[in-house]
Amino acid sequence: MFNDDIITLSRDCKAVLIPAGEQVTLLKGARVRITQALGGDYTLSVNGSLVRISGEDADAIGIETEILAKQNNLPLQDFDESIIWDQLKTCYDPEIPINIVDLGLVYDLEIDEPVEGKRNVIISMTLTAPGCGMGPFIARDVETKVQTVSGVENVMVKLVWDPMWNKDMMTDEAKLQLGML
């Protein structure tokens, strides 16, 4: 977790307002606090609101990170579905410090390989609440991160609502981390 240090933005950067999911621009000189840093992204408190910035903009808060890049060096015979699941575990709801897999939000993962080495990945997932404004953002985050896996050609994320998510879908580790066990 982070301390309460105030950080002054070194440049303008794009952000997503939480929980509305609206795109905003944080202006150079804005004063922020980091409240969460998971999956390479950052949740910030700014003027009493929460926003999420991409790791691509971490330099604006004084953090140097590696930019997510396509992993093109994976031999075809080394591909395994677990690689996709590992990528999904780098995706987080910006308000909850648990990855979307352990939260129980990912319902299904299909991999189709119409041409050798070029896979289509279809992910069916839900959100903790149907009205969550962060839904499109989380879906884009999933697409972006899974797209970096070598051999993945296309990624499609389907948001589904049946069955409705509930806390029983979380792993025991997630429940323990949230103090529910």
pLDDT of residue 115: 83
What's the pLDDT at 75? 52
pLDDT profile of the chain (181 residues), mean per 10: 80 93 94 90 93 92 68 58 93 90 96 86 94 89 92 94 94 93 81
Contacts of residues 5-9 at CB distance under 8 Å and 24 or more positions apart, as own/partner, are: 5/33, 6/31, 6/32, 6/33, 7/31, 7/32, 7/33, 7/34, 7/61, 7/62, 8/32, 9/60, 9/61
**Structural domains of the chain, with CATH:** 7-61 (2.30.30.40), 76-177 (3.30.300.130)
Q: What is the pLDDT of residue 67?
A: 52
- Residue 40's nearest CA partner among 4, 92, 80, 105 is 92
pTM, rounded to two decimals: 0.80
**CA dist., res. 180 & res. 98, Å (int):** 13
